[in-house]
Chain A
């Protein structure tokens, strides 16, 4: 049964990056929660971010907007941060492809590889 739209955004600070584990349905309502979580991290001065997308069932253009703006902010820092993706499902890949974003985000099969890339 549905209650309110729910997503899970789990954040873990690692040595060289911050790892977010995302799950659920990211539409224009819940994308806002993602935006807030990422913005807080940027405000705290962390610009190396990994998003583990394995649990993301659904993602609309509203979520892409958040990924794009966050990635831009990361990259424009002096030390050159980045937002990288891990464990992208075929569904999420389809949405990235549609937006022509597939080549613009570094994407890794597993969380470990993505974290290890920083």
Chain B
């Protein structure tokens, strides 16, 4: 098993980020899209922590802490919007949310 370097973690984080992206692009369900966005943030978090270890300082870890806080805030607002949407439309499918276009 080769030695695990920072680059390995970066690649892994990119893969996780990409999985999130994939979800955002392909899913129609707004809830799943939100979850995919969370996954993307986690990808970035991984990179931060890996770099934190790489550089031997804790800024990356602290940054991750804030990212989690931001993610929580975003999730709260996002879910509130989804609820509002659901109340109006009866669904949270993106195909129903195309009134604004052009």
Q: Do they bind each other?
A: no
Q: Residues of A at under 8 Å CB distance from B?
A: none
